[in-house]
Structure 1
Amino acid sequence: MTRLNSHALRLVGLAALLATAGIFAKAMDIGAQPPSPARQIAEAEEAEPPEVLVGERLFEETRFAQFYFANSGGDANAEPLPGGGDPVVATLITPDGPIAGPFAGKSMSCRQCHLESQAAQTPGGGFRTYADFAVRSPVPDRGDGEQLTVRNSPSLVNLALNTTAPAELYHLDGQFPNLEKLVADTLTDRNFGWKLTERPAAIRHVASIVRNDNGQGELAQQNGGAYALVLAGKSPDPRFVLPESYRLDVAKATDEQILYAVGRLMAAYMDSLFFARDEAGAFAGSPYDVFLQKNGLPRQPASGESDLAYSRRLRRLLADLKQPRFVTPADGAFELSDQPFAFGAQELVGLQIFLAEPQGRAVDATELQQGKVGNCMVCHVAPKFTDFSLHNTGASQQEYDAAHGEGAFANLPIPALKARNANYDAYLPPTSLHPNASGVFRKPADPANPALADLGAWNVYLNPDFKVPPEKLEALMGLAKVPNSGKDAALTQSLARFKTPGLRDLADSAPYLHNGSKGTLEAVAEFYRSFSQKTRAAQVRNADPEIGRIALVQDDVAALAAFMRSLKEDYGLD
């Protein structure tokens, strides 16, 4: 099969969806045919910027891993690897057991945990929105007991839309101030098999692969030739001639400069990943989007309107919608799944629950009895369905209490700021500066060890090794700039906070929550119903107050799940 860059796949997917929905017929003469898929693909690839194409190649590069370093005999172009590839990539872990891995025989790459169409034809697999299938992703075995990532692999699509949040930080706990740093640290840490004490060797190895790539490998043949030529802006294929600002003479550059040049290119690629939008920038790929369009409802904020104000305006417009025009399979069809292309009465009820807020600052007795107050859009603001901020929903507490008994998380001893930073190794995550740190508060809960828990942003806020500007994390926690005298209280408020995920195409990124603990959308809705009750009863440690403003009854769960399912689209159509 001809390799296509993912942006081309998305454009072809949108073209197919619009053609199926009959939208092309409105834009063209009646009876005119849309461009052929081959033409759409060619045009999409031609339009993609070179830095994105090169960034995608680096995203899929399997030679940066420690396993390749250890098994290639110093040859930057050794393929296949002697003795076969890393066992960790031989399979993909799914809730139903392991399936064949698309990179068997190779070693770790970013694509291993952030899939698109690579497992689409594999029995038990399917399409993914730059996530994998695992609760927590496997990592290479180095004999140190580390076998899984700490958290669920998040979708990377729409990452670049983080423009309205008060501060731009990345990873589920806000550890990275930019994507370049995220890439550089990922390529040289445990996800790629490198121990923290091996960081200098990891950097040298990444630089060596880039310098010594001979251009004969499959990725190189399809993506512009040897890295040295591509990074110098001298690729023989004009599609891959980088702009001046991305170029680097790898023969003269330091190893660190090469590593961060790789980071910049991969950041450009990740910044290109979007769900389907029309020429006006409005989302257009899901049954939900088609429902708004069919009913003349706005699909994006007006100029100068915040996402939250838009979401509230949409709620009012829906309340006035007397005869809704529902979406049926006559309006479109998914080509990548059996899910009906539909937005009906149940989805509308779910949307209205999703957008509903309590009448007052707290839910009243009537709302508690009747339900239908999701308060979801306060954090999952439309149309992106995320505020990119940090919240504690209770997910870490639920995981910890499931391991150690109800109420155990509330009694977990957690040090104050001075004690924490005075004994880094005892409490904070390991880094290259503190490779022997315990990281006890950045671990999944373990029934055999009550000291372990995942406290999210608590590990990052005022961590001297991470050097994330505290004002950025404070902004993402909804705090005004905190003076030095208030840092202890702010640290307490950072406990168990994680980034709000987007909700588009959730069907292709299960399992859910930062710990992958929910396998279905119904389970997610039930989790919020349950923890809203716990929050009102003051039984959730450091709960986000908005969780307590949710008022759901059991009958609301199916409708909420139906609405979230309507955000699906044909992402990655091949």
Structure 2
Amino acid sequence: MEPGPNPALHAARWRAAAAAPLLLSMLMLSGCGGGSAANATPSFEDPPEVAFGERLFLETRFAQFYASHSPDSVNAPLASGDPAVATLPNAGGPALGGPFAGQSINCRQCHLVDEQIATPGAGARTYADFARRSVITERGDGPALTTRNSPPLVNATVPRAAALILHADGEFTNVAELARATLTGRNTGWLPGEEAQAIAHIARVIREDDGTGALAADAGGSYRAVLSGTSASLKLPAAYRLDVNTASDAEIVDRVATLIGVYVDQLRFVTNAAGVSVNAPYDLFLARNGLPATPAFGESDLDYARRLRDAVEALTAPQFVAANVLRRFQFHLHAFAFTEAELRGLRVFLREPADPLAGPSADELAAGGIGNCVSCHAPPQFSDFGLHNTGVSQLEYDGLHGAGAFAALAIPNLAERADPAIADRTLPATAVHPARRGQFRAIAAADAPGRSDLGAWSVFANDDFPGSQAALRSLLCNIALPARDCRAATDDALLADAVASFKTPGLRDLGDSQPYLHDGSRDSLETTMAFYAESAALARAGALRNGDPRLAGIVINAADQADLAAFLRALNEDYN
């Protein structure tokens, strides 16, 4: 029997949280995800490739722990599970019950949905977990945690004008590539240099699965039957089929990764048939006030944000979304509302310095109320999908080693990093260089001076990541204000700009993905806003190493921070 309990397979649904009458007519949903309620439209089944991709996403037998601790049959349960999955670390309180306790790690361990939805102090997730940094399998190599906070996967691949990068440092440019590296990498227990063993083991599980497990019952029977197209209950389209008898191990793993990518790619927040988001209080506020919800044809997100700002500032009698019993969140404790506080926060969010390039004037610094958030988080996607150094790594490092320590940290330039000894010390281990020690893709620690996470610095101009270079180059070119000419930018200059730079996250449904920032160091929206106020002050003082120039334009006092937090909560929705 396939090991473990029967985790629910989350079919893509027509799902809408108990919508106000104005929105009910708009909920012609595209994509999947969103709220659920008693009056929601009945669910429909996933396409076969999505359902099968989710089954692979949930599969626990691909992990190294299963490979090294399982009986001879891949259909037998473990005698005892990986300690890493026994519980779920919880930054907000005591550890939670592990949904895969007694088994081994899978993708869902760090990208949860409704496993803890009824647990007080936990709740729903948008394919993130509750930890600051996630626990990984102990292998005696040192790391017991992931380097970064697990990012939510909903909307991770939403269409964008910028190049698609995945992971906070841009290591990957498509989900299948990411999935393959995860299945054969450290997060599922495989050490650098064990990729061939991982591939052979995963292919064996696929070939020898007998279809008797709980996941198989919900998604087509044996892996062999589904992939060959002979399953009676789940017919994969021909493009996704594979004869596991004749396919190589690597071809099988590639197909597994492709199907996981198909599943992840359709994780979306609710939109209507026109692609407009409709399920948050903010969305209803825009609709009630006749405010534009999307850019005009050919209009950039930033230009749209400025047009929206002008329209919001011109409102004289705004129609608010008052808290009432007809529309309530199911998975958030605060009211479904957009009132004066949220409007104040929206205005702060949209405001920029009068001269964005020069930064705030003395009068603007005294007055406050300038979030400059749209410079990186312009609606409607609330992300530019770019790379920025907001000071997270510096504040973490200086908090451990003293003010100014990060500024004094010796970081090699491109020529210095080309020295094999320096590369082995500073760059992350890969299948090509499994012995690299990754000083600069590491968690800072009080007893390890010099260790830090430099984000895109570890990936850009690194030959071990050839597929990411074009995307990273284009994004790093746009860090400068104004943007530089990419054709003239040298790799050395771009590598300097990559120091401690990380991908811009989206802002929808933040209430289901805390703790915040890539190090998971902030537990609330209010403390996150205070972080940005601190980073902005450091940037204006010239005390933030390689700080993004946009930070200097943030001028927010305590009242502004509270209003911004209120606005960000108005971007929450009931994803399930």
Query: Could you tell me the TM-score, scaled by structure 2's length?
Result: 0.92
Amino acid paired to 2:180: A
Equivalent-residue separation in structure 2 for 1:7 and 1:292 (angstroms): 30
Counterpart position of 1:444: 443
The alignment-based identity, stated in percent, is: 46
* Match status 1:116 vs 2:117: no
Counterpart position of 2:327: 332
Counterpart position of 1:517: 521
Equivalent positions of 1:169-568 (< 5 A) are 169-237=165-233, 240-330=234-324, 332-360=327-355, 361=357, 362-423=359-420, 424-479=423-478, 480=484, 482=486, 486-568=490-572
Structure 1 pair 189–484 and aligned structure 2 pair: CA distance change class (3 A): farther
Number of residue pairs aligned between Structure 1 and Structure 2: 554
Amino acid paired to 2:569: R
Contact 2:18 2:40 in 1 (8 A): no
Contact 1:444 1:452 in 2 (8 A): yes
Contact 2:58 2:107 in 1 (8 A): yes
3-state SS of 2:466 partner: coil
Deviations 1:93-134 (CA, angstroms, capped at 9, x unpaired):
002121111111111010000000011123442100110000
Could you tell me how far 1:506 is from its partner in structure 2? 0.3
Structure 1 pair 491–260 and aligned structure 2 pair: CA distance change class (3 A): same
Contact 1:462 1:468 in 2 (8 A): no
Could you tell me how far 1:391 is from its partner in structure 2? 0.5
Equivalent-residue separation in structure 1 for 2:26 and 2:522 (angstroms): 41
Contact 1:7 1:272 in 2 (8 A): no
Could you tell me how far 1:27 is from its partner in structure 2? 9.1
Could you tell me how far 1:414 is from its partner in structure 2? 0.7
Stretches of structure 1 lacking an aligned partner (at least 5 in a row) = 29-34
Equivalent-residue separation in structure 2 for 1:227 and 1:101 (angstroms): 26
Structure 1 pair 386–302 and aligned structure 2 pair: CA distance change class (3 A): same
* Match status 1:146 vs 2:146: no
Query: Could you tell me the TM-score, scaled by structure 1's length?
Result: 0.93
Equivalent-residue separation in structure 1 for 2:277 and 2:231 (angstroms): 35
Q: 1:73 aligned to 47, 71, 74, which one?
A: 71
* Match status 1:62 vs 2:60: yes
Equivalent-residue separation in structure 2 for 1:226 and 1:131 (angstroms): 29
Deviations 1:167-188 (CA, angstroms, capped at 9, x unpaired):
2221100001221111111011
Contact 1:17 1:285 in 2 (8 A): no
Structure 1 pair 21–571 and aligned structure 2 pair: CA distance change class (3 A): farther
Equivalent-residue separation in structure 2 for 1:121 and 1:385 (angstroms): 29
Equivalent-residue separation in structure 2 for 1:234 and 1:22 (angstroms): 46
Counterpart position of 1:125: 122
Equivalent-residue separation in structure 2 for 1:488 and 1:87 (angstroms): 43
Equivalent-residue separation in structure 2 for 1:294 and 1:59 (angstroms): 40
Deviations 1:422-444 (CA, angstroms, capped at 9, x unpaired):
22212110112211111000011
Structure 1 pair 528–7 and aligned structure 2 pair: CA distance change class (3 A): farther
Equivalent-residue separation in structure 2 for 1:104 and 1:231 (angstroms): 28
Structure 1 pair 283–150 and aligned structure 2 pair: CA distance change class (3 A): same
Amino acid paired to 2:572: K
Could you tell me how far 1:493 is from its partner in structure 2? 0.7
Structure 1 pair 308–5 and aligned structure 2 pair: CA distance change class (3 A): farther
Equivalent-residue separation in structure 1 for 2:229 and 2:6 (angstroms): 25
Could you tell me how far 1:22 is from its partner in structure 2? 6.0
3-state SS of 2:377 partner: coil
Equivalent-residue separation in structure 1 for 2:457 and 2:118 (angstroms): 41
Equivalent-residue separation in structure 2 for 1:432 and 1:370 (angstroms): 53
Could you tell me how far 1:455 is from its partner in structure 2? 0.4
Equivalent-residue separation in structure 2 for 1:103 and 1:470 (angstroms): 36
Contact 2:382 2:506 in 1 (8 A): yes
Equivalent-residue separation in structure 2 for 1:485 and 1:554 (angstroms): 39
Equivalent-residue separation in structure 2 for 1:2 and 1:288 (angstroms): 37
Q: Which moved more, 1:475-484 or 1:211-220?
A: 475-484
3-state SS of 1:418 partner: helix
Structure 1 pair 36–97 and aligned structure 2 pair: CA distance change class (3 A): closer
Contact 1:66 1:194 in 2 (8 A): yes
Equivalent-residue separation in structure 1 for 2:219 and 2:191 (angstroms): 31
Structure 1 pair 570–415 and aligned structure 2 pair: CA distance change class (3 A): same
Contact 2:57 2:260 in 1 (8 A): yes
Counterpart position of 1:17: 18
3-state SS of 1:221 partner: helix
Amino acid paired to 2:398: D
Could you tell me how far 1:143 is from its partner in structure 2? 2.1
Equivalent-residue separation in structure 1 for 2:410 and 2:180 (angstroms): 34
Equivalent-residue separation in structure 2 for 1:215 and 1:2 (angstroms): 13
Amino acid paired to 2:268: F
Deviations 1:54-113 (CA, angstroms, capped at 9, x unpaired):
11111111111111111212311112x12x211111100002121111111111010000
Could you tell me how far 1:327 is from its partner in structure 2? 0.7
Structure 1 pair 485–327 and aligned structure 2 pair: CA distance change class (3 A): closer
**Backbone CA RMSD of aligned residues:** 2.1
Amino acid paired to 1:77: N
Could you tell me how far 1:26 is from its partner in structure 2? 8.9
Structure 1 pair 195–175 and aligned structure 2 pair: CA distance change class (3 A): same
Structure 1 pair 69–299 and aligned structure 2 pair: CA distance change class (3 A): same
3-state SS of 1:514 partner: coil
Equivalent-residue separation in structure 2 for 1:511 and 1:270 (angstroms): 22
The structure whose residues are more often helix, as a share, is: 1
Contact 2:168 2:503 in 1 (8 A): yes
Equivalent-residue separation in structure 2 for 1:493 and 1:173 (angstroms): 13
Contact 1:417 1:488 in 2 (8 A): yes
Structure 1 pair 21–106 and aligned structure 2 pair: CA distance change class (3 A): farther
Structure 1 pair 21–120 and aligned structure 2 pair: CA distance change class (3 A): farther
3-state SS of 2:407 partner: helix
Equivalent-residue separation in structure 2 for 1:418 and 1:340 (angstroms): 55
Counterpart position of 1:31: none
Counterpart position of 2:33: none
Equivalent-residue separation in structure 2 for 1:359 and 1:217 (angstroms): 62
Contact 1:482 1:490 in 2 (8 A): no
Equivalent-residue separation in structure 2 for 1:99 and 1:356 (angstroms): 40
Equivalent-residue separation in structure 2 for 1:90 and 1:132 (angstroms): 14
Deviations 1:214-250 (CA, angstroms, capped at 9, x unpaired):
111000000111111111222211xx31112111111
Structure 1 pair 449–377 and aligned structure 2 pair: CA distance change class (3 A): same
Deviations 1:395-451 (CA, angstroms, capped at 9, x unpaired):
111001001001110000011112212222121101122111110000111111111
Equivalent-residue separation in structure 2 for 1:123 and 1:346 (angstroms): 27
Equivalent-residue separation in structure 2 for 1:160 and 1:26 (angstroms): 24
Contact 2:11 2:51 in 1 (8 A): no
Contact 1:460 1:468 in 2 (8 A): no
Contact 2:81 2:104 in 1 (8 A): yes
Counterpart position of 2:31: none
Equivalent-residue separation in structure 1 for 2:27 and 2:257 (angstroms): 40
Structure 1 pair 507–21 and aligned structure 2 pair: CA distance change class (3 A): farther
